């Protein structure tokens, strides 16, 4: 069978992921959202992602952003935050 006649493998490898709700505070905002983590092993803990030197940004989904000094809360489907702005991170609530 020549290379042109061989069937093409269209299946993508399955990567097991899970999401975890976290709350992040910066100097000005409280941000809560879902972070995607590996199901187990490498990058399966929030601290693994937060401490990854090769990552400058952390990506969250289903996000709420509230100013610490008051004001309206914002809802976003997606948000990337620069790691250098994170003051602390803790486990968040189950619902946004």
Q: What is the C-alpha separation between 50 and 7, in angstroms, rounded?
A: 41
Cβ neighbours for 18, distance < 8 A, ≥ 6 positions apart: 36, 37, 38, 39
Average pLDDT value for the chain: 85
The 3-state DSSP class for residue 48 equals: helix
| 47 within a domain of the structure (yes/no) | yes
DSSP 11: P
Cβ neighbours for 57, distance < 8 A, ≥ 6 positions apart: 80, 81, 82, 83
How many structural domains comprise the chain? 1
DSSP 42: T
Q: What per-residue confidence (pLDDT) applies to 3?
A: 53
pTM of the model: 0.76
- pLDDT bucket at 48, cuts 50 / 70 / 90: confident
| 23 within a domain of the structure (yes/no) | yes
Q: What per-residue confidence (pLDDT) applies to 12?
A: 65
| 74 within a domain of the structure (yes/no) | yes
Domain region containing 42: 17-91
Q: Domain containing 34 — which CATH number?
A: 2.30.30.100
| 3 within a domain of the structure (yes/no) | no
| 12 within a domain of the structure (yes/no) | no
């Amino acid at each position: 069978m020549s290379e042109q006649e061989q069937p093409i493998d269209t299946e993508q490898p399955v990567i097991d992921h899970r999401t975890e709700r976290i709350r992040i505070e910066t100097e000005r905002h409280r941000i809560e959202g879902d972070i995607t983590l590996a199901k187990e092993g490498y990058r399966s803990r929030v601290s693994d992602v937060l401490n990854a030197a090769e990552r400058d940004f952390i990506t969250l989904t289903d996000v709420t952003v509230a100013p610490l000094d008051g004001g309206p809360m914002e809802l976003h489907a997606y948000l990337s935050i620069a790691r250098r702005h994170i003051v602390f991170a803790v486990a968040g609530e189950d619902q946004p």
